[in-house]
Structure 1
């Protein structure tokens, strides 16, 4: 059985709205709690899944030239290669940059071999938050140790058990502070919710310092049952020679992807074109370096 069905079942058990990073729901329809007003328009995007040495070298050069630590870059490339090697039909991956009409349903045909340990344990896959963190972690500082929420259940399982991830204690604390969900009470107004998210991140002393070229973009999604906003998708954006480059893991079981855009507004339109970030009356909120995008 493909891991997407296993993950979905577990997510339903813990009662959380694991979308975006946690589960590929590209084919959601109105019957899956997405109202007609939330059906998104198709947004064309130029992308690659970084499956050959040429693209790999281009990504490496891009990251290092924009201040990403070389060891972190090597680890990130290792993530990509580990994933791509386990895709059963590699023809579904895009080697070079190609333009597609929409990202929704793009990876429906992807079938991934699971990583299983000698004791039979199936390892949790790297998701969008984990991959973005690897590139961005040196720009983030936090203080204090807090308990991880159920929304990060699969992330923590991967951190603790997947040998390809090399997190120290500081990395894990930083990760939880950065990505733990935020209680919003009965707030409905987006401006108020943004204030609540920023206030909570300030309490956790989450600070971002970078060179201005590299940004962390988080899409916060509402869980109306728990009254929380959680990071449903996370990407890294790099401003490079007049272009805006987005690097992401599309979902835990879907490919790594690099996309390019001519301006920030097109990046925002692209991020909001995912069907799987809708389902609540509170629309998704996008923060870039913890500020409103």
Structure 2
């Protein structure tokens, strides 16, 4: 019963995020001059450019190649009907690129009826698994115990290739499994709870403060089943790395949504982009999402500056 309630709560939360994207986009465009420069890594030249940047930021050639193979699989499958950027980077006057999600789901489902695809967590871990340290793999981190990651597990089981070793799968679930918290809207309390829990699980980062290396960017959500039962979970993740004179944020939006590589000038802009996408609820009983870089709050974090109050 607990799992059913938790999954229902999770579905409502993510559904609310999806439902209010259009409203958030309109508010953004009305109240601020914004733009986004991004690529879907469709063409060979851009994939090679991003691949070199990934390796320069400390990601192994093997992991970068595995990531780019998955990108190519997705882009070949959904084709031109998805609304992807066909070549290089493009700039739009919005923080929310538009894709034909109905077409993507239809095409993907016909090609892979049993395979959901890869999501943000699987993608980020593919790239950063060597930069996240697990001194030991706690027994609690084994697969099959998470009420949030069951679709991730299905994807790993049904994927056309073996993505992780058994040890890496255990580390994946150790990192992303949900954790209990208390009933409060204080983001600092939830941040400290997550930091303590990751420390207890033996999770550290090889280059926690080195901005020349790739880092894990996590959007953390607070979910409430009842006032007595509250959870934190990583609802979205991506990889941040130096690129040209600024930063590049690499993400997979969702299982059957595109890969994106987005250029940003600074970390505050990364946080604003993510909060505009996910901090979209009003008067909810839970804390707003917060954005972490590795195991610290990202520099420049603030509530969604474009949300209509």
TM-score by length of structure 1 reads 0.83
Residue number among 81, 92, 106 corresponding to 1:100 in the alignment: 92
Q: 1:103 to 1:241 in 2, by over 3 A?
A: closer
Cα distance in 2 between the residues matched to 1:39 and 1:49: 23
Cα distance in 2 between the residues matched to 1:29 and 1:54: 31
Q: Which residue does the alignment assign to 2:224?
A: 224
Question: CA offset at residue 28 of structure 1?
Answer: 2.5
Cα distance in 2 between the residues matched to 1:174 and 1:232: 17
Cα distance in 1 between the residues matched to 2:234 and 2:174: 12
Question: CA offset at residue 13 of structure 1?
Answer: 9.7
Q: 1:96 to 1:23 in 2, by over 3 A?
A: farther
Residue number among 62, 66, 70 corresponding to 2:57 in the alignment: 66
Q: Which residue does the alignment assign to 1:41?
A: 28
Q: Which residue does the alignment assign to 2:8?
A: 15
- Aligned pairs for 1:126-275 (under 5 A) are 126-142=118-134, 143=136, 144-146=138-140, 147=142, 148-210=145-207, 212=211, 213-225=213-225, 226-275=229-278
TM-score by length of structure 2 reads 0.79
Moved more, 70-79 or 163-172: 163-172
* Contact kept in structure 1, 2:63 and 2:127, CA below 8 Å: yes
Cα distance in 2 between the residues matched to 1:163 and 1:107: 25
Q: 1:276 to 1:158 in 2, by over 3 A?
A: farther
Cα distance in 1 between the residues matched to 2:253 and 2:15: 9
Query: Relative contact order, CA 8 A, sep 6+: which one is greater?
Result: 1
Q: 1:217 to 1:29 in 2, by over 3 A?
A: closer
Residue number among 105, 108, 119 corresponding to 1:114 in the alignment: 108
* Contact kept in structure 1, 2:6 and 2:147, CA below 8 Å: no
* Contact kept in structure 2, 1:79 and 1:164, CA below 8 Å: no
Gaps of 5+ in 2: 299-309
Residue number among 27, 38, 45 corresponding to 1:54 in the alignment: 45
**Over aligned residues, Cα RMSD in angstroms?**
3.0
Cα distance in 2 between the residues matched to 1:40 and 1:215: 30
Cα distance in 2 between the residues matched to 1:29 and 1:257: 17
Question: CA offset at residue 27 of structure 1?
Answer: 4.1
Question: CA offset at residue 276 of structure 1?
Answer: 6.9
Answer 1 or 2: which has greater helix percent. 2
Cα distance in 1 between the residues matched to 2:162 and 2:12: 22
Local SS of the residue matching 1:114: helix
